[in-house]
Amino acid sequence: MGIVVGAAIVAGGRLLAAQRAAPVELAGGWEFPGGKVDRDESDHEALIRECEEELGVVVAVGERIGGDWPLRGDLVLRVWFATVVSGTPVAREHLALRWLGRDELFDVPWLPGDLPVVRLVREMLPGLLDPAQD
């Protein structure tokens, strides 16, 4: 089983979404930043590495969101809340980044594997994702 980690980065009452550039079948879809866990690293190490590579930020990993979310083939997605410790997110490997408020979470076409996680994030953090708090 392959493991893909994702970061639900929340700041200022908004959730960071990243638009895939590749592969072709996923390009244009929106996802949580992250990527595959290498054989010699933990899930948290992979998440920190991927955020640095993809976004140019250092993150602190928080609470896990749900369990193993099935992706295509034998891959599973594991997602954690994260906060930016240093840096400003930049789309290094993605087409675009967007900060989405509670009322905007479903304004982008999330990839099928990420969509159920977005729904759970919305349920878990109604206050945190409330734009009235900005």
**Structural domain containing residue 16:** 2-124
Helix boundaries (H) for 10-125: 43-55, 115-124
CATH number at residue 108: 3.90.79.10
User: Using an 8 Å Cβ cutoff, are 105 and 126 in contact?
Assistant: no
Q: What percent of the chain lies above the pLDDT cut of 90? A: 83
Report the pLDDT value the prediction gives residue 123, as an integer from 0 to 100: 85
Judge whether 78 and 7 are in contact, CB under 8 Å.
Answer: no
Residue 132 lies in a domain: no
78 domain residue, yes or no: yes
Whether residue 96 is predicted with pLDDT greater than 80 in this model: the reply is yes
pLDDT band for 87, please (50, 70, 90 cuts).
Answer: very high
Residue 59 lies in a domain: yes
Average pLDDT of 31-59? 97
Q: How many domains does the chain have?
A: 1
SS3 category, 101: coil
Region 35-58 average pLDDT:
97
Q: Mean pLDDT throughout 29-33?
A: 98
Least confident of 41-45, 110-114, 124-128: 124-128
pLDDT tier for residue 133 given thresholds of 50, 70 and 90 = very low
